[in-house]
Amino acid sequence: MKRVAFEMKRVLFADDSSLMRKLVFQTLKEGGFEVILASDGKEAVEKALNERPDAAVLDIRMPKMDGISALREIAPLGIPVVMFSSLTREDSQVTMDALEAGAFDFVLKPGGIVTLDISEVKGELLRKVKAAIVSKRIPLVRRVAIGPKEKCTSASPANAALLVAASTGGPSFVRDLVQSLDGGGRYAVLIVQHMPPVFTKFFAERISSSSRIPVREASNGEPILEGVAYLAPGDYHMEVSMDPNPRIILHQGPKINYVRPSADPLFISAARRFGRKTVAVILTGIGSDGTNGAIAVKANGGTVIAQDEKTSVVYGMPKNVAESGSADFILPFDEIPDRINEIFANIV
C-alpha cells in the first residue's frame, strides 16, 4: 500500500535572542512544524522570499531591520505574520502599528525567567500559528472615511447598547466599526476584544483619536452613558449592572472560553439590562466566545449580527454563533454598520 506523504507546514521565526530562538524552535517543532530561523529582520525577509514559509513569527525589536519593517515586506508575499511582543508601553504601541499594517495577530513574549515562562505562551503561540496557516488570509489594511473629530457625547445614562466581540483579526474591524458609527448618542457601545493588559488602553486611545464618539478603556463602577464606547480592560471580565442608571462592573473571575475578558458575561448581563434594545455583533476570532451571550441576547428580544465567513480573518466565533441559530443576520463586514444604524433607528 502506497503511503501518502504528510506535508509539514513551515514556520519562519525571527528573534535576535539565541535563547529565545532555541526555545521557540523546540516549541514549534513539538507542535508539528518545520522551523526556519532568522536572527534579525533583514534575514527574516530574505528567508521569507527564498523559502516561502506558511507563516512567520517576528520579534518586534531586532537589529538591522525591526519586526514591523520586516512585516511590511513579508505580509505582501501572502505569508501571515504573528508578532512576538513584550508587555511594555512602547511595545504595545508598536504592536498596534503592526496590527494596522497587516499582522495576523500577536503573542506576548515570556517575561521573567524565560525557561520557566515559555510553557505559559506555548499553547497560545501554537493556536495562533495554526489559525494563521488555516485561514490563509492576511488582515486587510482597512481605512474608512472619517467625519469630523468633534466628539458627540451625551450625559444621559444609556438605555440601549451595541455589544461587540472580536478576537484574532479583530482590531482593524473593531476600529472601522466604531469609526463608522454616526455618533448620534442614542446608545452605548460595549466592546470585548481579546487583548492583554496595557494593549487595551492603547487600542482604545487609538480608536478614539479618529472616531466621532469617545472610546475609553472601561473603569469599574463608571456610569454607562449614551454616545460613549467602553473597551473591556485586558485580564478583566466586563459586565453591566442592573441599576436604573447602568454601571460598568469589572472583575477577575475565572476565564470563560479560555479567555478574560470574555464576551459572554458582557452579553448576558447587557441582555438582561437592555432587553430588546440590545444589538450584539460577533466579529472574526478563534473559538466560541460570544455564543452563549448571543443566545441570551436573542432570548431577551435583542438582535444578533454575525460576520460572514468570506470577510472574517478567522471564522470561529461568528461561525459558532451562526450554528447556534441565534444570529438574525450573517453579513459581510461592510454591511454591518448600516444594519446597526437601521436597527437602532427603529428601537431607540
Residues marked active site are found at 167, 194, 289
Question: Which of 198, 302, 285, 180 lies closest to 240 in space, CA to CA?
Answer: 302
For the chain, counts of helices (H) and of strands (E): 11, 14
For the record, the C-alpha cell of 192 comes out as 470585548
CA distance 31 to 25: 10
Residue 139 neighbours by CB distance under 10 Å: 25
**Distance between CA atoms of 224 and 158, rounded to whole angstroms?**
6
Single out the residue of 62, 54, 214, 198 nearest to residue 138, CA to CA. Answer: 54
Phi, psi of 325 (to 5 degrees): 85, 5
- Position 97: which residue type? D
Q: Are 214 and 191 in contact (CB under 8 A)?
A: no
